[in-house]
């Protein structure tokens, strides 16, 4: 399979919930248990949902043989009060806005952040509502260099963004589907009614 795919797993690496996998532009809908498919230890993914508990030593990210896994705070404890979205995934923007986390501005924490508050509206959305890209929640913890120019050219019309490219890990998909909410949360981006005019 290609692309950055995320599925919910239980500890036996069985698909826990029906989910859509995007492989290129084809979709495969999984509705049955598929043992061993993209297990965390084989490079698959896991989103920890409200009520789901995966220990640090079993998350497929941390080395279970490293003694440090016994000193780290379990994510379920650290994030138990974080707000969740409609799918139960942590809403990091809301978490930041509520002051539940305070990301460092850099390696030492003494660096200055330059947050910008303007939106970019993408209109090449076929029959879907337009996409609003808000800079503020991104620049509150990322510098401009994280995205420009390597991921997005900072010019109007300079990026031909498609859902297929995002699902394959390009453009927004560099983060979304990995460390940010998955691209299948359609309404979080496709949020501008098409009848609105005068938008760039």
Segments of the chain with pLDDT less than 70? 1-52, 196-200
- pLDDT score for 50: 56
- pLDDT score for 39: 36
- pLDDT score for 18: 38
Same domain, 59 and 3: yes
Question: The CATH number of the domain where 188 resides is what?
Answer: 3.90.10.10
| Residues of the domain holding 177 | 83-200
Same domain, 24 and 68: yes
- pLDDT score for 78: 86
- pLDDT score for 11: 40
Dig out the tokens for 38 from the structure: 């993209």
pTM: 0.67
- pLDDT score for 51: 63
Same domain, 101 and 4: no
Rounded to whole angstroms, what are the CA distances from 149 to 45, 57, 101?
28, 37, 28
Same domain, 175 and 197: yes
Where a domain ends, among 80, 98, 125? 80
Same domain, 88 and 54: no
Q: How many domains does the chain have?
A: 2
Half-sphere exposure in the Cβ direction for 156 (13 Å, CA): 6
Rounded to whole angstroms, what are the CA distances from 155 to 129, 149, 164, 190?
22, 10, 21, 21
- pLDDT score for 105: 83
């Amino acid at each position: 399979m290609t692309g950055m795919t995320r599925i919910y797993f239980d500890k036996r690496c069985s698909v826990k919930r029906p989910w859509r996998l995007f492989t290129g532009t084809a979709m495969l809908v999984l509705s049955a248990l598929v043992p061993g498919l993209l297990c965390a230890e084989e490079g698959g993914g896991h989103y920890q949902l409200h009520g789901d508990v995966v220990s640090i030593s079993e998350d497929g990210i941390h080395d279970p043989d490293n003694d440090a896994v016994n000193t780290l705070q379990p994510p379920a404890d650290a994030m138990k009060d974080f707000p969740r979205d409609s799918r139960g995934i942590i809403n990091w923007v809301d978490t930041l806005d509520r002051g539940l986390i305070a990301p460092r501005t850099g390696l030492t924490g003494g660096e200055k952040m330059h947050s910008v508050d303007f939106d970019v509206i993408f209109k090449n959305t076929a029959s879907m509502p337009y996409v609003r890209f808000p800079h503020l929640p991104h620049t509150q913890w990322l510098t401009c260099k994280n995205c420009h120019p390597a991921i997005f050219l900072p010019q109007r019309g300079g990026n031909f963004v498609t859902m297929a490219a995002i699902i394959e890990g390009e453009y927004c998909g560099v983060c979304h589907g990995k460390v940010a909410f998955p691209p299948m949360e359609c309404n979080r981006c496709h949020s501008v009614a098409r009848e609105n005019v005068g938008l760039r």
